[in-house]
Amino acid sequence: MAILNPSAGTAREADWLREELASITDAEIRATEKAGDGIRMAREAVAGGAALLIAAGGDGTLHEIANGMAPDFDRCALALIPMGTGNDTARSLGLPLDPEQALKLLAEGRLGAIDLMRIDHDGSTTYALNAATGGMGGQVNESMPEDIKDRWGPLAYARAAASVLPDLPVHEVTIEVDGDNRANLQLVSLVVANGEFAARGVCVAPGARVSDGSLSVHAILDSSLPELLSLIPPILRGDVPEHDNYLHWRCKSLRVKASEGMSLSADGELIEATDMEFSVLPGALRVLGAASEQTEA
């Protein structure tokens, strides 16, 4: 089954994709109309015995479809045709960002196993392929107008960061890394990542790999405005800033307890909770063309 978000891209692009898919696969093509359709359609496809789901859309579409496949990820593989504006998940997975090139992967039929991130939050469970970002990263992305994002890319991140930094909320949290209590911290930013990229191509988690069996955690402590601004250049270069108030871990699991509700964007889905536990599911999802150990579809 192919699940298409016609709102991602233009109507002409959606029509073109329908024609291309029909010419290379006999899979049923279904179009989403509202939030939640991707989850429902993916769940129905897996229950019906589908061996491959084709997700045509942006990061949000892919996120919904992956969560619709849960928890039976071993029953079905996933293919991604990036049609969105950010396409950070495709970028992190090493997939082509051009839809025409991505379609060629369907013919090649090469599968790579990637990790998934499971997020348990206040009694609910969400799965993420790419990253969960909160604080500076989330507010920066929200504050960037669509045209600015498209025109300036990562430079728009620097511009937006400078505007939101003075008013960032400070979250009092307790963090446990692989079960080890890392004490109480005052955070202005948190990134828990499976992949490297978010915010339309910004390398928010340098060195993160989608098939290394670990999570990459990046936290920024409450600091003066000049200190926070000094972190932006290395982040835009794809480097881990060398600063006492920038913390970085690689781990299998992470628990964050906040004194008040903390908001994170997990592949575009807003999560607001006081108790969040992140864990990695190594090699849980087979993705067509993903950069990892490869097998035949």
Both 59 and 155 in one domain: the answer is no
Both 138 and 250 in one domain: the answer is yes
120 domain-assigned: no
Neighbours of 10 (CB within 10 A): 11
Kindly calculate the radius of gyration of the chain based on its CA atoms and give it in whole angstroms: 19
Catalytic pick from 19, 269, 272, 277? 269
Whether the full predicted model's pTM is greater than 0.85, yes or no, is yes
As for how many domains the chain has, the answer is 2
Pairing of strands 215-221, 246-251: antiparallel
Both 134 and 238 in one domain: the answer is yes
199 domain-assigned: yes
Both 6 and 83 in one domain: the answer is yes
196 is a catalytic site residue? no
What's 180's domain CATH number? Answer: 2.60.200.40
What's 52's domain CATH number? Answer: 3.40.50.10330
139 domain-assigned: yes
List the chain residues with pLDDT less than 70. Answer: 137-160, 292-297
The number of angstroms, rounded, from the C-alpha of 30 to the middle of its chain's C-alpha atoms is 23
User: 37-47 and 59-69 are packed helices; what angle lies between their axes, rounded to 10 degrees?
Assistant: 40
- Domain housing 173: 126-282
Both 80 and 148 in one domain: the answer is no
Both 176 and 244 in one domain: the answer is yes
Q: What is the pLDDT of residues 146-170, one digit of tens each?
A: 555 555 555 666 666 777 777 788 9
What pLDDT shows up at residue 141? 58
70 domain-assigned: yes
